[in-house]
Structure formats: structure tokens, C-alpha cells
Structure 1
Amino acid sequence: MTDPCYDVAHLGHVEMYTNRFEESLDFFTRVYGLKLSGQDETSAYLRAWEDYEFHTLKLTRHETTGVGHIGYRVSSPEALERRVAAIEASEYTSLGWVEGDMGHGRAYRFEDPFGHVFELYWDTHRYVPDDADKPALKNMASRYTGQGAAPRRLDHLNLLSSDVTAFRDFMVTCLGSRVTEQILLDNGRLGGCWFTVNNKTYDLACTEEHGGGDARLHHVTYATDQREDILRAADIFLENGVHIETGPHKHAIQGTFFLYVWEPAGNRVELANAGARLILAPDWETVTWTEAERKRGQAWGLKTIETFHTHGTPPVQAAE
């Protein structure tokens, strides 16, 4: 476990591509239960009711699916400069500064070895509720409306890579991340790593790519308050014809109670309840799971279904 860095404060937002924009937007607002903060000609900016920033999901019209970029907010302007210096001194690809978008100010972009684009930013646009969305308690970000599954906040995302060890080195170098849990395969490769930049158990996971693609997304996850919210969401998804891939169930790794579905364009999204589990120990030692332990299935013995290992977005084009 590396020493805590804390230059990076938290996962800020994820840009998701969709080639069925109107259907995806309807899913994320009416069924999944996110709130629409703003919209321009190419993207919709969405957030859960307790997310303090203007958006945590940027849904973008595109010719295909997958992830556009991943945004992390840093802990100060000085921390941003330190991270930029570390990235520029590293072997990783720098994409330079961008002006930001509807949800935040300028950001520094860079790329992992597999083509996923990340950005770091400090200046953000906090969500300011109008009278219709103003909460009764002034310490809440917005009103709870109970629309759809109604998750509370953005939690994490999972990316795919052909070399999890190389991705781990990228996260440690560029974001100062720590690894809380990992899978060590019998062949010596890392099969997965779970990363944190704060005292959450994780804000990003990387697992081994089994579908043959590059820069692919496995899933994006929003958090609920309790397990019953996820059971209720399963009924909501059923009534709305949403493809439920697996769950409700409990992960062995990280202990989250989960439900995975595919939104209309095929991107996998999750609802999860992590309870009150935090990493408070400053000397936390990475928990390592063996291949045999993972083959036992999830926490209560449910075997992981095959699509969970092979499905990612964008889909892999068949060889001609």
C-alpha cells in the first residue's frame, strides 16, 4: 500500500457515450432517477440528488457507446499543479489543458496506456437548486424526489484493460491512488485492482479485459442508502423492460450489495449499497484474493455470469 497522497479529492464525473441518446436520457432520468442539470447540443449533464457538483454523469451523443473521459476533482489549486507536474514527468501521454464544460472550469487531460482519457480539475460549478428543487434542510444538495431508482450519489466506475498491473502503475503515479483490494491470478497476473484517493473503499476499479477491446467501460455505479432501495429498483427496472444482467446480490470483494443493468444503448450501470464501510486505517494493507477464491462466486455463492466477464462498451467489432 502506497503512502496516502490526497492531492486528488474524489471522483467527480464520468462522460458516457450513447448512440441512442433520447432513450438513454429517458432511462437515466425517468427510470434510474438522476436529475437533469443542463443540456447543450451534444450532451446532457446529470447528477444524483445528493451530488454537490453540477453534474456527475455527462451523457454524450456519439456514434458508439463507452466512456468519453473520467474527471477527478483535486483538493486545491496547488494540488492540481503538483499532479500535472507528476504526470508530465512520467511516461504517460499528456493531452494538455482543456477549457472545461458546463460543469467545471479548465481541466488537465491525460491518457492511460489503454486509451482511457482522464482529467483533473479544481474549479467546479456547484449545483444551485431552484425553488422547485430546494431541500428542506440547508445542508443537503437538493430535494429528494423519489423519481425512479433515485440513487444518492456517484460512487465508482470500472474500466477494462489488458494489463491490470500497468493500469495500477498509472493510477498510483498520476492520481496518487492506493489499492485497497486486488485479485492475483494463478499465472501471476493481476486480474483486478480497486483504487481509492480518499477514505472510501474505492472510487475506481480495473479488471482484466476478456473481450478483446481497447479503452472499454465495464460499468458506472451510483450509490443508494440501503439494500431495500436496490430491491425496489429491481422491480422498477422489471416494470420498464430494462435488461437486468445480474443481482440483486452481494459482492465478496468490497462487500457491496449490487444490481447490474444495461441502459438502452448497452452501457452497463450498477446500483450499489456499500453501507458504512470506509478505509480509516492509515496503514491499511491491500487485501489479495486468489483465483480459487474468486471462482467460488459472489459472497453467497452465486456464480458470476459469463457476460459480466465479456460485455463491455463499446462493443468489439467482429473481424472481417
Structure 2
Amino acid sequence: MNALLHDVAHLGHVELLTPEPERSLWFFTDILGMTAAGAEGDSVYLRTYDDYEHHSLTLTAHRTSGIRTTGLRAAGQEALERRVLAIKDAGLGIGWIDGEPGRGPTYAFRDPDGHEMRLYWESQWYEAPEELRPALKNQPQAFPRHGVGVRRLDHINYLAAEAAASGAFVRDALGARVTEQIMLDTGRISAQWLHFANKSYDLVYTDDWSGASGRLHHIAFATNAREDILRAADICLDNGVFIETGPHKHAIQQTFFLYVYEPGGNRIELCNPLTRLILAPDWRTITWTEAERAKGQAWGLKTISSFHTHGTPPLSPA
């Protein structure tokens, strides 16, 4: 058991690539209810209504789908400097870059699988314009009048050639802790769920069955309640958004979920994990076996086969 360092505060933002920028933008704004906070070049900056920062999703037009970068906010300037030293010691640093809109100096690096990440501290708090001003002063933005009304960017699930190696890096260099994991009969750790604070998980690594590196399994947005997941399924059904699986409940982490593909091909999870927190300072990692996972999800739904094969960017034909 390793203790949380609390040098990384939370998952801040994701840059998602799409070959269908107009249709993907429609999905995130009209279907999920996110708000555009600005645009630059081929990118649009999007926010959920409960983001205290400028944005949590950068949607960038590209020749293919996938994830380009992940932003993590440090807990302070000294915490940022400590983690940068640890990343450099691990030999995975890229260097300092200018931050995205609303963010200050940012340190870019990669995990062992090649996913690019960025760590920052300085952040400009969002101030809603008059038309988006909430009634309650402890909420950054008014609740959306349309779509699902997602509350926050919740977590990322990366595909990796070796999930355990990247999980160990996030644990040792960034100060996270493994809350749950899957161990195969061979002893190989095939997936790990890691958190930085009281949320039960922020980053997930899953073995890519293809053996490829640097791909995305999904990004997830949290809703206010389970009922929002059910409503989201109807909204997606009525608007021709492909539903891969759900609504249902995961056994691991007990998250209530719906998985869909946005028009660019990236898998998006709508989830409701808000009631599950890790408060124990001496939390002991939960390890699931192959036999336990073969039982399927919490209420017996078998894991759909595409869950193990679909990732972005798509693999080139052999």
C-alpha cells in the first residue's frame, strides 16, 4: 500500500482528436450539453457546467481519432516542481511549454506507453457571462437547458501495451494510488484504476489486446444522478448516436454507465460514480481475478466483445 502524495490535485482536461470536427462538436454541445469557451486554429475549447477552470475538453480536427494530451493540475507550485523532478528522473520528460487558454506554465511529458501528458499549476478561474450566470454563487455556470447536462470530466481509460508499467509510473512519479486492478491467471496485471484524491479513480490503464501503444479506450463524463444516464440513453437513441453497451453497473468501481461512440469514433462513457469515494488513508488495493471478471458486470451483463477490441486511433489494416 502506498500513501497518496496529493501533489496532483485532479484530472484537468483532455485534448481529443476527431476526423469529423463538425459532427463531434454537435455531439459534445447538443447531446452532452457542453459549452464552447473559445476556439483557436483547428481546436474548440469546451466546458461542462461545473468546470471551475476555463475548459476541460479540447476538440481538435485531425486526420484520425484518439487522444493527443491529458492535463493534470498540480496542488501548488512546489508540488508541480516536485513532480517535474520525479518525471525527469524517470526519463520521460519533454519540457516546459505554454499552457492552453486559462493555464500557466505547463510541463509536458509521456507515460511509458507514449501517451502525452501535461502538468500545470496556474489556472484562471472561469467567470460566466451574463447569459450563463447561475442562480447559485457556488456553481460556476448555469445548468444546461438542453442535452444530458454532464457535470465534469471524470476519468480517462488508456489502452497500453503493458498497463502495469504505466500504472507504476503514475503511482511512483505522480503520487497516485491503485484502488482496484485485474490480475490474470498468469500473474500479469492487465488493468489498473488509479486516483489522486478522494475520487475512486482518475486514470485507468488497460492492456491493449492488439499490443499497440498510445491508444485511447475512452474518456468519461460524470452526470448528477443515475437517472441522467437513462435519459442520456434515450437522447442518444433519438439522435442516432451509437450505443455500445449499457445502461448498466460495473462490478469494478461500481460505476453506473453508458458507453457511446461520438461521431469521430472515440468511445465516450457517461457515468455516475458520484457516491463512491475513497476516504481510507490506508486503502488496500482490490484485486479481481479472471474468474471473477468472467462473471460480467455487477448484475450479470456480459462484457461486450468490442470493449476489448475498439480503441482510437483505429489500427491500420494488416
TM bin, normalised by shorter chain, reads over 0.9
Aligned equivalent of 1:64: 64
Which whole-Å CA distance do the structure 1 matches of 2:123 and 2:35 have between them? 18
Structure 1 residue 23, shift from structure 2 partner: 0.8
Checking the alignment, whether the CA contact within 8 Å between 2:164 and 2:205 is kept in structure 1 is no
Distance 1:147 1:231 in 2: 15
In the TM superposition, residue 47 of structure 1 has moved relative to its aligned partner by 1.1
Residue 162 (structure 1) aligns with: 161
Equivalence for 2:33:
33
Whole-Å separation in 2 of the counterparts to 1:113 and 1:236: 38
Q: Distance in 1 between matches of 2:124 and 2:220?
A: 22
Residues in 2 aligned to 1:193 and 1:43: alpha-carbon distance in whole angstroms? 31
Distance 1:88 1:213 in 2: 25
Contact 1:211 1:311 in 2 (8 A): no
Q: Aligned residue for 2:47?
A: 47
Q: Secondary structure at the match of 2:283?
A: coil
| 1:260-284 CA-partner distances (Å, limit 9, x unpaired) | 0000010000100013110000010
**What is the match of residue 108 of structure 1?**
107
Q: What is the CA-CA distance between 1:6 and the residue it aligns to?
A: 0.3
Tell me if structure 1 keeps the 8 A contact 2:160–2:211. Answer: no
In the other structure, the counterpart of 1:184 is: 183
Aligned residue type for 1:177: A
Which whole-Å CA distance do the structure 2 matches of 1:3 and 1:275 have between them? Answer: 22
CA–CA distance in structure 1, aligned partners of residues 180 and 158 of structure 2: 15
Deviation at 1:43, TM superposition (A): 0.6
Question: How do 1:114-133 and structure 2 match up within 5 A?
Answer: 114-133=113-132
Structure 1 residue 168: Cα displacement: 1.4
Cα distance, 1:125 vs. partner?
A: 2.2
Shift of 1:172: 1.1
Q: Give 1:22's aligned residue.
A: 22
Matches within 5 A, 1:77-92: 77-90=77-90, 92=91
Q: In the alignment, what sits opposite 2:262?
A: 263
User: Which residue identity lines up with residue 72 of structure 2 in the other structure?
Assistant: Y
% identical aligned pairs: 54
* Equivalence for 1:248: 247
- In structure 2, the gaps of 5 or more residues are none
Tell me the alpha carbon deviations over residues 158-213 of structure 1, each in whole angstroms, 9 at most, x when there is no partner.
Answer: 00111112111111122111000000100111111000010110011111101343
TM-score (norm 1): 0.98
- The CA RMSD over aligned residues, in Å, is 0.9
The answer on whether the counterparts of 1:213 and 1:315 sit within 8 Å (CA) in structure 2 is: no
Structure 1 distance, partners of 2:49, 2:117, is 24
Offset, 1:147: 1.8
Q: Distance in 2 between matches of 1:71 and 1:251?
A: 26
Counting matched residue pairs gives 318
Aligned to 1:9: 9
Return the offset for 1:145. 2.0
